Chain A
Amino acid sequence: DTEVTQTPKHLVMGMTNKKSLKCEQHMGHRAMYWYKQKAKKPPELMFVYSYEKLSINESVPSRFSPECPNSSLLNLHLHALQPEDSALYLCASSQDTGRVRSGANVLTFGAGSRLTVL
């Protein structure tokens, strides 16, 4: 299995809703990532988990709450979002984080969850 699977593919939510995005990989990767991508822009890093521990939080507002229940799963809990949070949310995984400079350490992306906040 060489895939990163994200659900749901599309999500529409109101500003008072609570929802979650889910991500799963079975490649034995120890690093998992959440990125946010707005139209016509590169992905922006939000969070990095390494060995199930949060290692990077790029000053993301607390209305986004990541969770890594085990080495294969990564969730992003959403609460009280704003319309400007509408974007494509991409999950990715790699053998290790980029701090470990051995091997190609390819970052594999999921297809993304398209979020619309009304």
Chain B
Amino acid sequence: GEDVEQSLFLSVREGDSSVINCTYTDSSSTYLYWYKQEPGAGLQLLTYIFSNMDMKQDQRLTVLLNKKDKHLSLRIADTQTGDSAIYFCAEWGSQGNLIFGKGTKLSVKP
């Protein structure tokens, strides 16, 4: 079945780069997404990448896609304490619903 996997925790120091990884199963996915959720809040779309791209850069965010290995990563440059949150990767499933990974909790230490 369709599945999205992520590591659950990542801890970095302020100013370092963070890399959050994700693997997915549906090779027909046309877009893959990264969402951020701060405590007590809804999910905020961070960025997305089209499946025919290898990389997308948006200010401090870089998304890398390895379609052969079905591997997606989100790099946050110069990580700040305000980046502390849970990050979900997601893809559309065949039933028309968005399938989320379990989420990676990013902790940024000053």
Interface residues of A (CB under 8 A from B): 6, 31, 33, 40-43, 45, 48, 50, 55-56, 58, 88, 90, 92, 97-99, 101, 104-112, 114
Query: Contact at B42–A56, with CB atoms within 8 Å?
Result: no
Task: Beyond the given A41-B102, A107-B45, please list 15 additional residue pairs across the A-B interface where CB-CB is below 8 A.
Answer: A40-B105, A41-B103, A42-B100, A42-B102, A42-B103, A43-B100, A56-B95, A56-B96, A58-B97, A92-B43, A98-B92, A98-B98, A107-B33, A109-B35, A109-B44
A55 to B100, CA, bound (A): 19
A98 to B94, CA, bound (A): 7
Chain A: minimal CB distance from B59 (Å)? 18
Q: B42 touches which one: A58, A106, A109 (CB < 8 A)?
A: A109
A48 to B93, CA, bound (A): 13
Q: B31 touches which one: A43, A58, A88, A104 (CB < 8 A)?
A: A104
Query: Contact at A110–B98, with CB atoms within 8 Å?
Result: no
Query: Which chain B residues lie closer than 8 Å to A101 at the CB level?
Result: 28, 30, 92
Q: A99 touches which one: B42, B50, B96, B105 (CB < 8 A)?
A: B96
Query: Which chain A residues lie closer than 8 Å to B102 at the CB level?
Result: 41-42
Chain B: minimal CB distance from A113 (Å)? 10
Q: A111 touches which one: B30, B42, B48 (CB < 8 A)?
A: B42
A49 to B24, CA, bound (A): 25
Chain A: minimal CB distance from B35 (Å)? 8
Query: Contact at B96–A109, with CB atoms within 8 Å?
Result: no
Query: Contact at A56–B97, with CB atoms within 8 Å?
Result: yes
Query: Contact at A90–B43, with CB atoms within 8 Å?
Result: yes
Query: Which chain B residues lie closer than 8 Å to A33 at the CB level?
Result: 97
Per the 8 Å Cβ criterion, residues 76-110 of B in contact with A are 88, 90, 92-98, 100-103, 105
Query: Which chain A residues lie closer than 8 Å to B33 at the CB level?
Result: 106-107
A50 to B101, CA, bound (A): 24
